[in-house]
Structure 1
Amino acid sequence: MKKHYFILLFSFLSLNLAFMSNSIFDGVSWNYETTARNINLYIKETPLYEDNFYKAETIIDKFDGETLFNNLLKFNSYPSIFPKTIVFKPIKSIDKNKFLTYTQINFFPYKTRDYYIETEYSVNYYDKDKKIYIFEWKPTEDKINETNLDSKCVRVNKVFGRWMIKELDDGKVSISIEYHHNFKVDVSKKLREYFEKANTVDAIENLIKFTAKNK
């Protein structure tokens, strides 16, 4: 377990040195929380009325980074990959590999949550032939977020996330997902934390399961 933990730590540190971006997750001081289903969970706790940061990470050798990343870009398949996703639809190109995207998330028994985000993906080299695949999103400043409202949904505005898939030695791949959001669910922070931790770990597991079924 310790060996696995230090491999992930080294992977994370070397990634920060190799690739610098302007993500909200850059510079977050992650605290190890637990390991579930061979996936490490990290958290950055915030004061009571603020929103936590979450990160899950694991290392696998079953699939290559490109295959996993290509599945992340199968937006029409998101309801199959991530069961709570109803819609994940790029609707307008902003720049190369960057899109305005509309999303609906099932929050039963609460109303469906929806939001517009800016999504962007990239592929970078960090060591000769080793790649880092990145897919991230953040809130949009487009006015459509304020005007195109759906009465059947609760519009949320604070949704950040980042997938990072990094090729390692010996055919291994590091997969991580980071979340920071507020879905306007009126429950205690402790209860929200319980579900947010589980959802963060589930995201990686769901991607791996989908890849296994569609390899």
Structure 2
Amino acid sequence: MNYLRLILKDRTFLILLWMINFFGTIYGYMWYEGQLANTPAKFLIFVPDSPTASLFFTIFLTFFIFGKNIPYIEALAIVTLFKYGVWAVVMNLFMLLVNGSLSWAGYMLIASHGAMAIQGLLYAPHYKIKIRHLVVAAVWTFHNDFIDYVYNMMPRYSSLDLYMNEIGYFTFWLSVFSVALAYYLTIRSRNQIDLS
């Protein structure tokens, strides 16, 4: 565990992780290009969920490399990285179940989004999140769910269109769990350490 902590704080590793997230974010926005072209301007910020989550983490890493903290971005990063990382993994596995097969891109998305979910959690001990920061992240996350499933701005998986109600229900509870997990790993854990 101490070895992992050293790696996570190693400057070379941090720069490599920053580059992976930076270019992954650009690729993610490009992946949404078709959907964004048909999205009303007022909803544009809420459509590319995963690349925006990795953008939050890239911003966190930029400051963390220089020994700075930005708690609002940290709260947005941990909640959205976990939520959309898990969401994409589950949706691609669901597509495999429904269609009986999955493209190479689907397996790539499972791997990259699984890693995305994990990386945000690994840095939890380094976040300086307080309740007010987590509240902002929660409002952003639930508002995004509202935009996605009330205004039909969710990421497009055409073969899953018949299951949008179920996916929306799953997504809501995934948001609840993501916020709760972020609280447990940051605010609650830090309070327990302070009391001991």
Q: With the length of structure 2 as denominator, give the TM-score of the two structures.
A: 0.30
Q: With the length of structure 1 as denominator, give the TM-score of the two structures.
A: 0.28
Q: Quick check: which one's strand share is greater?
A: 1
